[in-house]
Chain A
């Protein structure tokens, strides 16, 4: 297998899956499995999936992303999707793919800030 299309980086309690090039369905499923395992392994509390480079997100991708959000939620990590481009966002809503119930942010920076806010608040509550 060649280099991963979406390497997963660790930044403290946060995992960052940075998509590097167009993903086929198998890549997405691979990413999903890898992330779920890593969240468990590293006891991560936050996950960021950066899709900046993607110029298309189809229904399969949208469903897989939602699945990742739900799965990581079940094992204790909050996932934020970042970097959806204007054209991609427009095309997605036209196809009815709204990623309902998913946290989104403009880019990696905003995503990290979002996680800090949500997780920080949760931390205080505990």
Chain B
């Protein structure tokens, strides 16, 4: 239940919006009255419609997969019955809307595809149309009117549910973007006064700003003299991205740290030259390894592999 409520908060639909939607579907008070008028008849046919409906669902692999648990099946059938009855009970107020939205959210949560969702509505409308034709043999005109009102209402419901689907996906995308943003700007201390800033993914203005600020703070707190900025993970570089890079490098220089940019891919190098991006002010080397070697040279480190005899001596001492 708590889950349902949290899903509700994902897609709050205002009273005005409900009015707008109903107006667009031309769903008026007359339609409500018509639907209420067939409520008694609907109560009679609901059970048989539900039975047909689930026979149809179970006949297709894609939808059957959702009802492998018999208890669940019973529960869902009960809910479905309640919903079908609800369709002709009038009073399509905010609570009704909220309920539809939460049902849409649940369907999205369990991963029911939109095509199945639509298909189910289509089947329902067809089943009801059949019942209406038989019931109102004498006055097909009336059957037609009822069906029209019912169609408006189900399209109203479908609109709500699909919006929940979309909203929920967008919410997920947004969360992921935030996660990426948080994860992707580590500044690593590689050696005393040597920082490594691996950039992965696209750089936009906001991220560049965050990246630069973090770099500058790290330069200060680690007393860094050299920064290696590795752009191997940056998929494309345009004028804007290059500018961000230059700004980061120059800001670091104002704080007394030299930057080395590494890992510019060949095709990116080509694009950059074609775009006329000038990185002459920045030290660039081919790959991360040479970048770190260059940094070590600047800092006065020499790295050498120890020989076998030295290794043995080390072991003896320890």
Query: Distance (Å) between the CB of B168 and the closest chain A CB?
Result: 37
Q: Which of A93, A98, A99, A106 contacts B220 (CB 8 A)?
A: A106
CA distance A29 to B219 in the complex (A): 30
Stretch with Cβ within 8 A of A (4 or more), from B125-133, B154-162, B251-259: B251-259
Question: Is B212 positioned at the interface, with any CB of A under 8 Å from its CB?
Answer: yes
> CA A34 – CA B142 in complex, angstroms?
100
Beta-carbon nearest neighbor of B223 in chain A: A106
Q: In this assembly, does A84 line the interface, its C-beta being within 8 Å of a C-beta of chain B?
A: yes
Kindly identify, within residues 74 to 92 of chain A, every residue whose CB is under 8 Å from any CB belonging to chain B. 81-82, 84-90, 92
In the bound assembly, the distance between CA atoms of A95 and B256 in angstroms comes to: 19
Q: How far is the CB of A17 from chain B (nearest CB, A)?
A: 17
Q: Are B255 and A104 in contact (CB under 8 A)?
A: yes
Judged by a CB distance under 8 angstroms, whether B187 is at the interface is no
Q: Does A2 contact B (CB under 8 A)?
A: no
**A21 CB contacts on chain B under 8 angstroms:** none
> What residues on A are CB-neighbors of B227 within 8 Å?
none
Cβ of A81: which chain B residues have Cβ within 8 Å of it? 254
Q: State whether A98 and B223 are in contact (beta carbons under 8 Å apart), knowing that A86-B213, A90-B212, A110-B256 are contacts in the complex.
A: no
A110:B223 contact, CB within 8 angstroms: yes
Of residues 205 to 252 in B, which have CB atoms within 8 Å of A's CB atoms?
209, 212-213, 216-217, 219-220, 223-225, 247-248, 250-252
User: For window 29-51 of chain A, which residues contact chain B by CB distance below 8 Å?
Assistant: none
Please indicate the chain A residues that have their CB under 8 angstroms from the CB of B254 in the complex: 81, 84, 88-89, 92-93, 98-99, 104
Q: Does A105 contact B (CB under 8 A)?
A: yes
Q: In the complex, which residue of chain B has the Cβ closest to the Cβ of A104?
A: B256
> How many angstroms from the CA of A82 to the CA of B142 in the assembled complex?
88
Given that A93-B251, A98-B250 are contacting pairs, would A86 and B220 also be in contact in the complex, using a CB cutoff of 8 Å? yes
**Contact residue among A94, A98, A106, A114 (Cβ-Cβ distance under 8 Å from B255):** A106
B interface bracket (residues with beta carbon within 8 Å of A):
20 to 34
**CB of A68, distance to nearest CB on chain B (Å):** 16
Residue-wise, chain B 72-89 has the 8 Å CB interface mask toward A (1 for contact) of: 000000000000000000
Residues in A neighbouring B250, C-beta threshold 8 A: 93, 98
> Which residues of chain B are within 8 angstroms of A106 by Cβ–Cβ distance?
219-220, 223-225, 255-257
Q: How far is the CA of A94 from the CA of B213 in the complex (A)?
A: 12
Inter-chain CA distance A15–B138, complex, in Å, is 108
B225: which A residues are within 8 A, CB to CB? 106, 110
Asked if B252 and A89 sit within 8 Å, CB to CB, the answer is yes
A86 engages B217 (CB within 8 Å):
yes
Complex CA gap A106/B193 in Å reads 11
B256 contacts A114, C-beta separation under 8 Å: yes
Q: A67 CB to closest chain B CB, in angstroms?
A: 17
Output the least CB separation between A104 and chain B (Å): 5
Q: What is the minimal beta-carbon distance from B297 to any residue of chain A, in angstroms?
A: 14
User: Are A89 and B216 in contact, CB atoms less than 8 angstroms apart?
Assistant: yes
Across-interface contacts of B251 in A (CB, < 8 A): 86, 89-90, 92-93
Residues of chain B lying within 8 A (CB to CB) of residue A114: 256
Contact with A along B247-290 (1 / 0, CB 8 A): 11011111111000000000000000000000000000000000
Q: Which residue of B lies closest to A62 (CB)?
A: B254
19 extra interface residue pairs, beta carbon distance < 8 Å, beyond A86-B251, A90-B247, A104-B253: A81-B254, A84-B254, A84-B255, A86-B217, A87-B216, A89-B251, A89-B254, A90-B213, A90-B251, A93-B248, A93-B250, A98-B254, A104-B254, A104-B255, A105-B256, A106-B224, A106-B255, A106-B256, A110-B225
| Cβ contacts A to B, 17 pairs, < 8 Å | A81-B254, A82-B256, A84-B255, A86-B219, A86-B220, A89-B252, A89-B254, A90-B216, A90-B247, A92-B254, A98-B250, A99-B254, A104-B255, A105-B256, A106-B223, A106-B255, A110-B223
The 5 closest A-B pairs by CB, nearest first: A86-B216, A105-B256, A89-B254, A89-B251, A93-B247
> Which residues of B are interface residues toward A (Cβ below 8 A)?
209, 212-213, 216-217, 219-220, 223-225, 247-248, 250-257
